[in-house]
Amino acid sequence: MSTTPMAMDKTELWDAVLSRLSEKISRMEFCTWFKKVQIDEMNHEAIVIACPTEMNRNWLETKYRAVILANVRAVNPQIGEVFFRVNLKLADAQPSNPSLFQKKPNPRKLPNKPEVRLAEGIESRVIHAKFTLDNFIVGEENRLAHAACLAVAESVGSGQGTKYNPLFVYGGVGLGKTHLLQGTANEIMRRNPDACIVYTTSERFTNEIIKGIRERKGENLRKKYRRVDALIIDDVQFFEGKEQTQNELFNTFNDLFEFGKQIIFSADRPPAELTGISDRLRSRMGWGLSVDVQLPNYETRMAIVQAKSRELGLVLGSDVQDFLAANVRRNLRELENLLTQVHAELEITGASPTVQSVAKIFRKLNPNQNLSVNGRSSMRSLARSTDDIITLISEFYQVPATEILGKSRKKEIVYPRQMAWLLCKDVLKMSYESIGADFGGKNHTTIMHGVRKIKKLLETERQVARHLHALHQDLGVK
């Protein structure tokens, strides 16, 4: 027997509305905001919804009024208005249909499966359980980023609204951005097994948009994205020049932001420097908090070396640890590759890794880098000559030293070369003449022009200023 809308009492009506809402909004929101809510009063035209707290009422009134009304009307079209009030007695209330609020089994408990958390129908990358905020080693260079991620993870689903929205994490390759983003996703899920999180890369997001457009399912996609509690997009610099995708992201951003959903981005640059991204999207990316990750210092790198080798079950002598911490200076992913290879060799040959055997593997992976074998002494005390500067620049920009000394006019070579001149001038205090002589007999005016050019760039391009800062750090210049 079906009940006609008119004959429905308020409990039946609310149960029907809840069951519809549970399909339309994310599980976590649903459980957070609707569990203790009831219809207090109703007549033919309106209902009054009672909430257990002031915050709950405000939240429903500002964020959910429209969707509640639409679903009430879908059940009983005569109702034209909803009102909200606080009823403190509801704090102890039980829902009339508790099964709607039952916790879903936590898929993370499945053994031996990579952790995947998909919002239905949305393409998401796997979130690896191995990246956590706990096993991220914190040093001065990434402290703020780590703290911000933790604060965000705590705020999602806390019912207190979002903390920093969006959170924007930026920094060079291999400095832990993906680790932090996935660690944040894992932390949100640990606290809230019902949270619906989408972690994706800008490339995957783009492909999905293109597919949606091709199959004319763009609208569905948008509806689905609205159901997530947190949207995490890694490496947004690759949205450069992709206008249609940027438009979609802009709309999705607005939808999510309006509903207080957390958004997290990462990129190799801060938002303001993302060229090729529309002004309106770029400005939104910078609305919340932007934090950077820089290359960790020797002590932090040492802690990472120890943690990663422990994870692999690899026992390394302190001289080998020191070698690794001193030489992995640009990209921590190299460290992972290196340790994996060291581990493989150990398994095959059975011989314990030594500084020599590790250095051999290192050279294969990084033919351009000059090795420091006495650990901490690395570049800092070595930068005494033009050669040291050239080695550093070659490593930093991944350009062979022969090119830096050569005659190529290509931008990718000229810029590092001029940067080398600047360092020779400012750090080694060399004259333009002697720099010219060391760089293949160039005229001193050529050197002077090159140095001036970099100084000019320093005023306008923050990327260049950051490079110089990193190079100075390597050289131990304060």
Write the DSSP assignment of 397-460 as a string of letters.
HT--HHHHHS----HHHHHHHHHHHHHHHHTS---HHHHHHHTTS--HHHHHHHHHHHHHHHHH
The CA dihedral of 29, 30, 31, 32, to the nearest 10 degrees, is: 40
Examine residue 333 and tell whether it contacts ligand ADP (CB under 6 A). Answer: yes
CA torsion sign for 209, 213, 216, 218 is positive
Say which residues have a Cβ less than 8 Å from residue 418's Cβ, sequence separation at least 6. Answer: 450, 451, 453, 454
Cα 58 to Cα 43: distance, rounded to the nearest angstrom? 23
Q: Which does 176 bind (CB under 5 to 8 A by kind): ligand ADP, Mg ion, none?
A: ligand ADP
Residues 10-49 touching ligand ADP, rule: CB under 6 A, are: none
Examine residue 201 and tell whether it contacts ligand ADP (CB under 6 A). Answer: no
Closest approach of ligand ADP to the CB of residue 128, in Å: 9
3-class secondary structure, 160: coil
177-191 and 143-155 helices cross at what angle (nearest 10)? 30
Nearer to ligand ADP, 215 or 311 (CB): 311
Q: Which does 288 bind (CB under 5 to 8 A by kind): Mg ion, ligand ADP, none?
A: none
Nearer to ligand ADP, 174 or 416 (CB): 174
3-class secondary structure, 267: strand
Closest approach of ligand ADP to the CB of residue 142, in Å: 5
- Total residues in contact with ligand ADP, by rule CB under 6 A: 15
Nearer to ligand ADP, 332 or 346 (CB): 332
Closest approach of Mg ion to the CB of residue 269, in Å: 14
Q: Which does 332 bind (CB under 5 to 8 A by kind): ligand ADP, Mg ion, none?
A: ligand ADP
Beta bridge partners of residue 290, listed in sequence order: 168
Choose the binding region for ligand ADP from 172-180, 222-230, 312-320, 470-478 (rule: CB under 6 A).
Answer: 172-180
CB atoms within 10 A of CB 5: 14
From 179, 261, 417, 467, residue interacting with ligand ADP (rule: CB under 6 A):
179
Q: Which does 166 bind (CB under 5 to 8 A by kind): Mg ion, ligand ADP, none?
A: none
From 149, 304, 338, 422, residue interacting with ligand ADP (rule: CB under 6 A):
304
CB-based contact 79:46 (threshold 8 Å): yes
Burial of 386 (0-12, 13-18, 19+ CB in 10 A): buried
- Count helices and strands (H / E) in the chain: 21, 8
From 178, 192, 206, 394, residue interacting with Mg ion (rule: CB under 5 A):
178
User: Mask: binding to ligand ADP, 258-297, rule CB under 6 A, as x and -?
Assistant: --------------------------------------x-
Choose the binding region for ligand ADP from 48-56, 101-109, 170-178, 209-217 (rule: CB under 6 A).
Answer: 170-178
Please give the structure tokens belonging to residue 71: 């679903």
Nearer to ligand ADP, 171 or 353 (CB): 171
CB-based contact 321:302 (threshold 8 Å): yes
Cα 25 to Cα 194: distance, rounded to the nearest angstrom? 12
CB-based contact 35:51 (threshold 8 Å): no
Nearer to ligand ADP, 71 or 178 (CB): 178
Q: Which residue is closest to ligand ADP by CB?
A: 176
Nearer to Mg ion, 296 or 416 (CB): 296
Residue 287's closest CA among 321, 316, 262, 322?
262
Q: Which does 333 bind (CB under 5 to 8 A by kind): ligand ADP, Mg ion, none?
A: ligand ADP
Closest approach of ligand ADP to the CB of residue 419, in Å: 23
Closest approach of ligand ADP to the CB of residue 268, in Å: 8
Distances (CA, A) of 301 to 172, 321, 374: 16, 10, 15
Residues 128-147 touching ligand ADP, rule: CB under 6 A, are: 136-137, 142
Binding site for Mg ion (CB under 5 A): 177-178
Binding site for ligand ADP (CB under 6 A): 136-137, 142, 173-179, 296, 304, 332-333, 336
